[in-house]
Every structure is written in C-alpha cells, then in structure tokens.
Amino acid sequence: MKRHQLALIAIAAIVALLPHSLFAQEPDYFPMKIGNKWFYKHLTNLGNLHWANKTVEITDTTAINGKIFFVFDEKLYDIHYEPGKVHQSKSYYRKLGNGDVVRFSAAINDEQLYYSFLGDSLYRPYFFCLTPRWKWQITLTGYRVAVRNPAGYFPNCFQYDFRYSIDGHLVPETYFIALAPNLGFINEIAEGDWNFLVGAFLNGKVVGDTLLTNVEESSFTLRPSSPILYQNYPNPFRSQTTLFYSLPNTWRELIHVSVFDLLGCEIKTFTPHKALDGQHQFLWNGTDNLGKEVKNGIYIARLRSGPIQQTIKICLTR
C-alpha cells in the first residue's frame, strides 16, 4: 500500500474516534486557514483512466460586501488531452456562526449557503446561483456516512447531492460530494468521472501524497483500447466549448461526432473523419447545421465509431 494511502487511512481512523454531533462545531468539515492546500486526482472512463490533477489552496482573505471571505485558488493541470495547459479559477467561502459554509455568488452579488451541517437541512434542497438562469440544487443526503475511494476509507462523512437547475428544470445528472472530518472535500462522483483527495497541507501538517509525481501518473496515462469521448471544457459554456477524444493506435474506423437536443433531434453534425492515435479536439460554438445559435439548455454530444458509441452532456448558457 502506498504511503499516502496509509497516511490518509491513519488520519481517517483518528478522526473516527472524535466525538461527533450533527450540530457540533468540531470536527471541522471545511478547514479554512490561509496556507491550507489540497491535492486531487481526476479519473474518467469509470475510474480507469487519468483525466487531470487539481490543487486547491487558500491563498488570502478578501472583503466582499463588508464580509471577510477566504480565497480558494484552484488549478487544474496534467490534463490528459491538454498536456502543459493549466486552468485557474477562484472561489470565495466563509463560515457562519452555526458552522455552515457559504460561498459568494457573482450572479446575485451575495453569499449563499453551500454546505449545511444542520439536522433540519437533511433531505431539504437549497439552491446556489451560478448564473441568473443556472443554479445548483444542493441536498444534504447523509451524515456519519462511510466513504471509500482509491486513497482510503473515511468514516463519519457528510454527503451531498448536487444537480443543475436551469430555469427551474432539473438536469438528470447528479454529482455526489463527500466531506470528511478535519479534511474537507474528499470525493466527487458523476457519470463515470471520479475526483478524490490524495493529499493535503492542513494547519501546518502534511497528510498523504502532496507530490503527484510523474512516476505515479504512469499507470494512469496508458492509451485506451477503444475511442474515449471526454467531458467538454468549459462546461457550462457561453460562446464556445472544446470537445476532446482519444484513439488507440490500432483504431481505423471513421469517427462520427454529433450534437443532439434532449428530444433526440440531431442539431449539429461534424464531418466524419479518420484520425491518428492519441488525443484530438474540436470546437462547438453553440450553433446548428445552418449556423444559427441554439437555445440555452442541455445537449448531448455523441461519438460513434465502429461498434463504439459514447455520449456526454453539454450545458449551454449565454
């Protein structure tokens, strides 16, 4: 067993012995201190293929509307289909007196509840605005939940369901999020993708693996045995988004890529083609085959080649 797995299991075992109450302020499920840093691995293809690495670091505090928020800097890197590319973003969080975590929403220029730890929120959905039309519907679905991922076993977790709501209509896809005591965000699962914690610097202490070395990555970067369609980026998108796919070196079939609406109508057809092995990408600017802009909403991108067919959901919001 790897050292980072042993370290994470050890801390999970320690926090399991701590007293726990649904209303308690301790243990801390969302540690907020400048200098805290988390290291994550993203897998795709049902958890069998490396997709990317990510770090989240608390770098500063800032005042927004007279309230002090912690600044969370996120970096997505070692992306399977974009070698050398780094995507960066910032989020702003703070804790309320009852321990709940709120996040600043630029869509409404105000804070909104993001993670609730109170008993009266169990199974009661609440919303976080992403854009004027898009929201997260968030539901606390469990506490004292045991979570197992490739890094180890974590008892006493809080678990949440995240779903997109567009103009009041829920998207079928659900994101399952888990927070562990004294670690924070440890796990996210959604439609074959898996994002999980592998290490952290928390309150001056090192937990697990904080290196994510090239040697460790080697087992995840093998080329697939059949075509793989990856999630587009960005998603949701406003003007254009990039779709990515990988091919093995033995694949000789034509590649057909199309975009459908939720009624099953094919609105965009890309020219069928053959491609060499490796990673490939192409752009969709939110238009149909006639060059007209399509409406905001959820669309399905499909890759078909020989006996293989794969789909992803694409979210358009202008």
For the ranges 17-21, 182-186, 283-287, the lowest mean pLDDT is seen at 17-21
For 243-269, how does the pLDDT look when each residue is reduced to its tens digit (9 = 90+)?
Answer: 888 887 778 899 999 999 988 899 999
For 2-48, how does the pLDDT look when each residue is reduced to its tens digit (9 = 90+)?
Answer: 444 444 444 444 444 333 333 344 789 999 999 999 999 998 866 66
Q: Please tell me the predicted confidence (pLDDT) of residue 46.
A: 61
State whether 115 and 16 are in the same domain.
yes
CA distance 146 to 159: 9
Contact 268, 254 (CB under 8 A): no
Q: Are strands 193-202 and 205-208 parallel, antiparallel or unpaired?
A: antiparallel
Contact 93, 70 (CB under 8 A): yes
Mean per-residue pLDDT over the chain, rounded:
83
State whether 204 and 247 are in the same domain.
no
Q: 212 pLDDT exceeds 60?
A: no
Q: Which tokens belong to 76?
A: 């997505």
Assign residue 122 the CATH number of its domain. Answer: 2.40.360
State whether 259 and 140 are in the same domain.
no
Stated pTM of the model? 0.69
Judged by DSSP in three states, 219 sits in: helix
CA triple 84-89-93, angle to 5 deg: 145
State whether 155 and 268 are in the same domain.
no
State whether 188 and 65 are in the same domain.
yes
In one-letter notation, the amino acid at residue 148 is: R
Domain count, the chain: 2
Assign residue 278 the CATH number of its domain. Answer: 2.60.40.4070
Bridge partner list, 272? none
Domain coverage including residue 284: 228-316
State whether 56 and 203 are in the same domain.
yes
Q: Please tell me the predicted confidence (pLDDT) of residue 211.
A: 58
Q: Among residues 226, 230, 198, which one has the least CA distance to residue 311?
A: 230
For 76-110, how does the pLDDT look when each residue is reduced to its tens digit (9 = 90+)?
Answer: 999 887 888 899 999 999 999 999 999 999 999 99
State whether 215 and 232 are in the same domain.
no
